[in-house]
Structure 1
Amino acid sequence: MAKAIIFDIEKAQLLNKLFNIIMIQHKLIKLLIFCIVVFTHQAIFAQYTITGRITDAKNGDPLPFASVGLKGLNVGAQTNFDGVYTIKTKFLSDSIYVSTVNYKKKSKAINKTVTAQTIDFQMQAEAKSLDEVVVYSGENPAFKILRRLRENAEKNDRKRLTAFEYDSYSKMELDVDNISDKFKEKKIMKQIQGAIEKFEKIAGEDGKAVIPTFISETLSKFYFRETPNRKKEVVLKNNIKGVGVKEGSFISQLVGGNIFANYNFYDNFVPFLGKDIISPVGNNWKGTYAWYISDTTDVDGHICYGMEFDPKNDKDLVFVGKAYIDTTSYALVQIDATIGKQANINFIDKIKISQELEKTEEGAWLPAKTRFLIDIAEISKNSAGMLLKMYISNKNFVINQPRDLPFYDIPVEVAEDSKEPDPNFWLNARHESLSAQDILAAKLIDTVRNVPIVKTYVEIAEIIASGYKRFGNKFAVGPYINLFAVNSEEGLRTRFGFKTLAGFDKKWILKGWLGFGTKDLVFKYGGEMDYILSRRHWTVAGIKHSYDLERIGLTPELIGDNKIFYAFTRWGRFTGAYYRRESEIFLKTEPTKGISFNIAFTTRNFDPLFNFQFRTQPELGPKSPSLDGYDDSFITVEARYAKNETFLMDGNERISLGAKRIPVISIVYQHGMKGVLGSNFNYQRITAKIYQSFRVGSFGRSDYTVQAGYIPSELPAPLLFPHLGNQTLFYNRAAFNTMHFFEFVSDKFVSLNYNHNFEGLLFNRIPAIRQLKWRLIASANVLFGSQRQDNLDLMKEAIPVINPRRTFDKDGNPIIRPRYNFSALEPNIPYVEVGYGIDNIFKIFRLQAFHRLTYLDHKAPNGDLPQSFALKASVHFSF
């Protein structure tokens, strides 16, 4: 009985344990079921977010229009204008990839344990093959879209607006890139090694470091008027930091951006760096580019065709890239256009222009965002390159409310209180937040520019570029090109000059120079004092005086702005030399944009060192008295018309950016005043000049200069029109390059100088030399001129003048000097020369041959035979 009770108790305890085990398992099962339900719910309803930025690995430039997708899934996105993408999905794959035009496809692993992550890509460029042939059964479907774009261009193009204005924010950065390991070993780079390491870290695992040398932010207002064509940018605020940059008005005018980067792809050509690049959506879209449709997508609410374009010849001045065209209005909504180093442009690895446009209430589209990049190639393998990047954001558009014409007189105007370094101001003012690299760049520029060796390099570069050594912002010494010369009259000639800068005074400008020759032992000198009456209408009054040795037919007023050519004419055999003492008082003004006047009173004398005389009473023939020099006082009135010419102010100097495509016309009238300050002559002198540069479609660019002059008065030959010859080895665009100095003189003439640059039209299509980027050039110079018999008789033999200073040397020995033969052209036989050659040899040399076609038997003034053939060279830097 006892055993039975004990067994029942043990059985009960065992059953109880089994029950407890069952209950625990039940709870575990319930918990497991709960967890399964929870995780299943999360798996079904979870939202994963992946964001990132796609950039060029070499230069950090954002890549718009890049396709981003999850491998193995039909899930993806496209980067926006700033290269940013966002993917939201319920399902993840193992990796994410990026694909875009002209870059290698790339992928990265995805972390599946987090719901939000950032994955950036630095993309490596890849040359795109242009050898593929796409065959369509019928017409390429892209052609229909592009024809519709051109048909609707008139209503979509901003040119339909009478005026527009907007608020603008721009950011500019200049960097050193392509920093090789050998270049890092240079002394200058070792001193900024810390900066390099920081930028290598922020560039990303595949990116290359760039070292910032300049960065700026600018707030401005931009104004445009269509008829007449005017534009203006008012810089309101800016913050500028740079190595070797002297903050001031000139730099502030450059960083605004809109005055230079207002690109319009509806035009047939997009101007950039002085080049005319064929627009992919201009009228020549079919003859120059290969097009195809890549996709259709939503761009800021506009359903657009994605269109890719390639050049048919990548050596031409053409783009490659992608454009988005609205499917309803056929307007250009976005474009990303790149020029590679294959194109016939010097010193450039890449040019890239990206633009996003916004539709206005009138239907026309205006640029809302623009980004451009210039990747300047390194000169050698052991050097570094440069990278210029600019971003412009525009908003608050106001259309069809043109301002009065005087409002546009100053194209770029900087507010008095424009400098704004306060970072708190820019936090709210800028349209887009700065990237981490932008913030670091601004901090490191101060470090880089304070390195002593950097300061030295910057100073040397400034002297080479400007010709002057500056001392602060008050004085400058130079120009160095005139420091010395060696010639037959002066021996070793030295000259030292100076000028004051805006820091000295913003109204007064002082200039002066002193020269001396070791052979003639004569001091030469010059001085000038100017006063700026108005900057808005650029009105300057001044007075100047000089005493110098000049050459007949090679005076500064005849040569013009070609200071290098003028400096070289002071070397070697110095024929036709004379001393000239000159005084002048003048007034220059521009009362309205594009029209300027110059009024001056001048007195000068002519004191030749060669055998020279002219008849004072030519009616007496050989019995006429004569003079071997003269005094001349005259008034000059010059009117100049240059529509759309743009100027920038550099301190107290005004710098012209040229007048594109519009002829520049000038007319000069001079009136000689006999008896005033001993002047020997009364006369009238009229000259006119027209200059224009223009594009000849795809055949390149031409420029011409037409000049004409007339003197109805009787004057000695040096006061007539001496035609500019060229006996130097250097090419001069304004000269007759097979003509001797002062070989021909006219009292009435008309001339044409025509030059054409075929760019790469011919050499780009020759396989053996297309990589050299040579450019074929051609020119023709024609001159019609003559002299009246009265002026010819004036220069004939007369009673000689006995001038002890010119007839005998210091030891009393007679001096025999040749007499010049001042020849005239035959009225019905023009002087003609033609030229041809190659430009862009080794990117800096120009070599041009000239053939003289007429006056082959004519002798120069000194008796030399004519140059029937001449080979001229020049060195110039151009893109």
Structure 2
Amino acid sequence: MKDFTLFKMFKRGGLCGLLFFFLLCAQSAFSQVVIKGRVTDAANGDPIPFASVGVIGLNYGATTNFQGEFTLHAKSMSDSLFASVVGYKKRIKWVDKKLKTIELDFQLESATKEMAEVMVYSGENPAFKILRNVLKHRAYNDRSKLESYEYSSYSKMELDVDNISEKFKDRKIMRDISEAVKKFEKLAGDDGKLVIPTYISESISKFYYRDSPQRKREHVLKTHIKGVGVKEGSVISQLVGGNLVANYNFYQSYVSFFGKDFASPIGDTWKGNYTYYLGDTVNVDGHVCYQLDFDPRNPMDLVFSGQMWIDTTSFALVQIDASVDKAANLNFIDKIKISQELEQTETGAWLPAKTRFLIDIEEITKNSAGMLLKMYISNKDFVVNKPHPLSFYDLASEVAEDAKEPDPNYWKFARHEPLSRQDLIASSLIDSVKNLPVVRSYVEVAEIVVSGFKKFNNIEFGPYINSFAINKVEGARFRLGFRTNANFDKNWIIRGNVGFGTKDLVPKYSAEVNYLFSMKKWTMAGIRHSYDIERVGLTPELIGDNKLFYAFTRWGAFSGAFFRRESEAFFTTELIKGLSITSSFHTRSFDPLFRFQYRLNPELGKASPVQDYYQESFVTLEARFARNETYIMNGNEKITLATKRIPVITFKYQRGIKGFLGGDFDYERFTLKAHQTFRLGLLGRSDYTLSAGYTPSNLPAPLLFPHLGNETFFFVRSAFSTMNYFEFVSDRYASLQLNHNFEGLFFNRLPLIKKLKWRFIASSNILMGSQRKSNQEIMKDVNNPLKSKFLDQYAFDSLDPNKPFVEVGYGIDNIFKIFRLQAFHRLSYLDHGNPQRFRLMASINFAF
């Protein structure tokens, strides 16, 4: 009837009628109410995608996007709006319904997930059919099947302080920034918790991936870094491009971060780890998707909970929101959340278009504060299956020399989305607190604890772990070391230290100068000279990178000590990606402080002259292969992040030269070492070290292969825990050291123990070795009395070539989150000397 009346009006009124109709339409349009806002997590401010926002009592609603933003149009209004999403408490807010434009933010509190009533029918869970199709179509949808891909990326990283207790607010550092904090408290809203930003970085980069052989490269083009205590060239300033560390792929069976492997809800182990609930179909950016909720079967396992959206035609993962809460067997973590939105490429495979990553680190004590790490990555301009030459990927992470870009006009147009109101205030807050003296003091203390060095502009002093020790030879040992950093010079690196003991009063020193030719190929040359006291079998080249254990060996009885004067010249370069070659020349002296002798002419037997010191000169060629190794640059130092699946293999050849610069021996030595960590599905993670060595030459025992024993109560992974110092020496050997962490596989399922988050560990060490008779003759009668004030004496015994040295261990990791306790049993050579058949060892192990 209304349509007929309007038709007659137009027919009779002509232009006037038409004008009246448009006025009615305009009145209807202008009468609409527009509500805009954002839905965030009240605890950390993280946006919540796919939350429902609606007008209570009326059929008007909207859904938040990936940034948690919504826009709602309503022809009429009630006096309240609501926001809700699975996993959070529903929130209702009152509004003035007379307003035509409303801006309203919701902060939702996390809630225990309560499922609605579920009707159970005979037959299979309908979600299972969908998941089997996801795996069936994985070869088509998974980006790892592409020959190559690349894209332009915008990354934003933020580090915040959260969970601030009232007692912590009363501390001086908080009182000094109280005015700035009040602004942020107001921004958090009536339900939001106070979150104080301390670091924000933005970057524009290009990310490249190539398969077969696998290569990654992220070239950071522009950066903008603002933070409390962040210095140019520091490690944290390098972490501006996020694609190397947050390029998560849920099609893989396990999603890895911080050394932990989390079972994917669409990986091969989906059915054993999760329960699923099929929801309604949802339109996600034009794709009609199944909504699947997933929960862990055992919340303490390394698994996720959340929601994902699967395309109904291609069975591809379109979006996922995956969280790990405090119940999981993790340390120092309140929550981990990964949100990822994927985009289909021209080949059919899907690449991550947007990723949000959040870690909520718990407060250490009730009266302290926690921390939040947030990362947002937006990718576009995808190019697939157009690989670059292999040399293009040589440098995995590269920051352009002119990357620093503070111009706000540049960033205004370079960002993929404009900064939010929270981002703008966060930037302002950092400016107001970073120069306060009390804040700078806190930052400096934190730097010393983490790096071991006290940093000035161009030079750093330390490491403090080596600054003091007490032992029977030196008395109280003092040492002061330094190194230059990239602010001094990007190519020249100078290191050195001086020290002395109050008992022996002998000055010790070291000086080193290196030159970095190329960061891309990591080509470096250098020279070093030192004079210091060492211990047989406990030298830096044998202990390796375990600096804590090396520092601890400076304490106590200090048996097996000798003075060593050493000069070294070296050159190293990366020939091809993953393959490094190092050549060096050394001269070393051996001046023992224990009863030591070796026969100069062993064929003469007891008639042979003996000597209690020696000099060696030798050249070394070393090849190290670490495929798929990822690293970052810390100024002019390289820090390895990880290698995946492939073992790291090191081969070393050493050639002694008699007569050159006083060398006493011609000899050859070959060593091979392989190290790998790998996942064993639900059983946890293992690592092994396989070593072998051989010298065909006849040499004194310290120049053979002294096996690393451990007489302390501290567990050291590279040592044999029930072997004494210098107990066995070989001229040929092979060893296998295997460690396995079952994570929470066993303890997570024990009702009274699982809350402790203990982890069961097991170890096994096997060593086969021997000495030729000719080498034994060189050291024969080593215990004969010599004129020496030192009473230490060692047999440097040989292993039986037909009898392995074997020890096994087991224990509990993660006691009070930082301690490890292990028991070791010696299973062979039980009557050799005075062995420790059983040894209980402890260590400090910081791990998530």
| Aligned position for 1:509 | 493
Q: TM-score when scaled to structure 1?
A: 0.92
1:537–1:589: 8 Å Cα contact kept in structure 2?
Answer: yes
Any idea what the Cα deviations from partners look like across 1:645-672, whole Å, max 9, x if unmatched?
A: 1121111211111212210001111111
Quote the residue 1:598 is aligned against.
582
Matched residue, 2:776:
792
Note if 1:576 corresponds to 2:550: no
Alpha-carbon offset, residue 247 of structure 1: 2.4
Q: How many residues align?
A: 826
The answer to whether structure 1 residue 753 and structure 2 residue 737 are counterparts is yes
Aligned to 2:507: 523
In structure 2, relative to structure 1, the CA distance for the partners of 1:693 and 1:41 (3 Å cut) is: closer
Q: What TM-score, normalized by structure 2, do the two folds share?
A: 0.95
Q: Counterparts of 2:268 and 2:376 in 1: how far apart (Å)?
A: 28
Instruction: Report the CA distance between 1:130 and its aligned residue.
Output: 8.4
Query: Is the 8 Å Cα contact of residues 488 and 574 (structure 1) preserved in structure 2?
Result: yes
Residue equivalent to 2:537: 553
Alignment of 1:44-193 (within 5 A): 46-128=31-113, 135-193=120-178
Query: Of 211, 223, 231, which residue of structure 2 is paired with 1:238?
Result: 223
Task: Give the corresponding residue for 2:327.
Answer: 342
Helix, strand or coil: the match of 2:642?
A: coil
Partner of 2:466: 482
Alpha-carbon deviations, 1:70-124, whole Å to 9, x = none? 3344443221111112232334444322221211112223433233322221001
The residue identity in structure 2 corresponding to 1:619 is E
Distance change >3 Å, CA 575–CA 132, structure 1 → 2: farther
Mapped partners of 2:31, 2:595: distance in 1: 102
Q: Determine if contact 1:622/1:799 at 8 Å carries over to the other structure.
A: no
Match of 1:869 among 832, 835, 838: 838
**How many Å separate the matches in 1 of 2:312 and 2:704?**
66
CA distance in 1, matches of 2:115, 2:286: 33
C-alpha separation in 2, matches of 1:190 and 1:413: 40
Aligned match of 2:4: none
The equivalent of 2:476 in structure 1 is 492
Q: Which moved more, 1:647-656 or 1:350-359?
A: 647-656
Question: Is residue 2:747 matched to residue 1:763?
Answer: yes
Cα deviation digits, residues 145-167 of structure 1 (max 9, x gap): 11111100110010221111111
Q: Look up the match of 2:384.
A: 399
AA partner of residue 831 (structure 1): F
RMSD value, Cα: 1.8
Q: Is 1:626 the equivalent of 2:606?
A: no
Aligned to 1:35: none
Say if 2:805 is the partner of 1:836: no
The residue number in structure 1 matching 2:371 is: 386
Are residues 622 and 156 of structure 1, via their aligned partners in 2, closer, same or farther at CA, if it must alter by over 3 Å? same
Which deviations, in whole Å up to 9, do the C-alpha atoms of 1:622-653 show, x marking residues without a partner? 11111111111111110110001112111121
User: Could you tell me how far 1:49 is from its partner in structure 2?
Assistant: 2.9
1:408–1:249 distance in 2 versus 1, CA, 3 Å:
farther
Greater Cα offset, 572-581 or 79-88: 79-88
**Residue 251 of structure 2: SS of its match in structure 1?**
coil
Q: Choose which of 444, 450, 456 in structure 2 pairs with 1:459.
A: 444
Quote the offset at 1:479 in angstroms.
Answer: 0.8
1:721 is matched with: 705
Give per-residue Cα distances to partners, 1:739-779, cap 9 Å, x unaligned: 10111001111000000001111111111111111111100
1:627-666 pair list within 5 angstroms: 627-666=611-650
Tell whether the 8 Å contact from 1:626 to 1:799 is kept in structure 2 after alignment: no
CA distance in 2, matches of 1:506, 1:631: 36
Q: 1:121 to 1:68 in 2, by over 3 A?
A: same
Aligned-pair CA distance for 1:798: 8.1
Identity of aligned residues (%): 63
Cα distance, 1:528–1:153 mapped onto 2, change above 3 Å: same
Cα distance in 2 between the residues matched to 1:304 and 1:406: 41
Given the superposition, is the C-alpha separation of residues 70 and 528 from structure 1 closer, same or farther in structure 2, using an over 3 Å criterion? Answer: same
Is contact 1:253-1:412 (8 Å) kept?
A: no
Q: Deviations over 1:203-253 (max 9, x none)?
A: 112111211100111111111111211111111111110000002375443
Change (3 A) 1:745 1:130: farther
- Tell me how far apart the structure 1 counterparts of residues 110 and 739 of structure 2 sit (CA, whole Å): 38
Alpha carbons 1:633, 1:679 under 8 Å: kept: yes
2:13 corresponding residue in structure 1: none
SS across alignment from 1:836 = strand
SS at match of 1:771: helix
Tell me the secondary structure at the aligned position of residue 823 of structure 2: strand
2:66 counterpart SS class: coil
Is the contact between residue 695 and residue 702 of structure 1 (CA under 8 Å) also seen in structure 2? yes
1:4 maps to what in 2? none
CA distance in 2, matches of 1:295, 1:96: 23
Name which of structure 1's ranges 621-630 and 554-563 shifts more when overlaid on structure 2. Answer: 621-630
- Deviation string for 1:320-352 (max 9, x for gaps)? 110010001010000000110111111111100
SS at match of 1:548: strand
- CA shift in 2, pair 1:73/1:285, >3 Å: farther
Alignment of 1:374 with 2:365, yes or no, is no
Deviation readout 1:468-527 (Å, 9 max, x if unpaired): 11111x111111011111111111111111111112122211111111111112111111
Q: Which moved more, 1:243-252 or 1:460-469?
A: 243-252
Contact 2:50 2:63 (8 Å CA) reproduced: yes
Cα shift readout 1:369-400 (whole Å, capped 9, x = no counterpart): 00111111011111111111111111111111
Provide the C-alpha distance between the structure 2 equivalents of 1:457 and 1:828, rounded to a whole number of angstroms.
58
Q: After TM superposition, list the pairs within 5 Å mapping 1:247-396 onto structure 2.
A: 247-248=232-233, 250-396=235-381
Q: Secondary structure at the match of 1:313?
A: coil
Q: Indicate the larger mover: 407-416 or 102-111.
A: 102-111
Give SS of 1:462's match. Answer: helix
After superposition, residues 669-748 of structure 1 pair within 5 angstroms as 669-748=653-732
* 1:826 aligned partner, one-letter code: D
> Distance between the aligned counterparts of 2:440 and 2:705, measured in 1?
49
Deviation at 1:441, TM superposition (A): 1.0
SS at match of 2:575: strand
Q: SS where residue 391 of structure 1 aligns?
A: strand
Does residue 781 of structure 1 match 2:750?
no
Using the alignment, how far apart are the partners of 1:347 and 1:538 within structure 2?
Answer: 35
Q: Counterpart of 2:624 in 1: which secondary structure?
A: strand
Decide whether the 8 Å contact of 1:50 with 1:118 is kept in 2: yes
1:324–1:627 distance in 2 versus 1, CA, 3 Å: same
Name the CA distance, whole Å, in 2 between partners of 1:362 and 1:39. 49
Q: In 2, are the aligned partners of 1:625 and 1:798 still within 8 Å (CA)?
A: no
What is the rounded CA distance, in whole Å, between the counterparts of 1:483 and 1:551 in structure 2?
18
CA distance in 2, matches of 1:346, 1:701: 17
Deviation at 1:65, TM superposition (A): 1.6
CA contact (8 A) 1:54 1:120 kept: yes
Point out where structure 2 has 5 or more consecutive residues left out of the alignment: 1-22
Contact preservation (8 Å) 1:53, 1:119:
yes
**The residue matched to 2:428 in structure 1 has which SS?**
helix
Task: Point out the structure with max Rg over C-alpha.
Answer: 1
Q: CA deviation at 1:796?
A: 0.9
Q: How far apart are the structure 1 equivalents of 2:739 and 2:117?
A: 38
1:48 deviates by 3.2
Greater CA drift, 293-302 or 43-52? 43-52
Change (3 A) 1:131 1:382: farther
Alpha-carbon distance between aligned partners in 2 of 1:797 and 1:291, rounded to the nearest angstrom? 73
Query: How far apart are residue 50 of structure 1 and its match?
Result: 2.5
Note the residue ranges of structure 1 that are not aligned, 5 or more in a row.
1-37, 809-814, 860-864
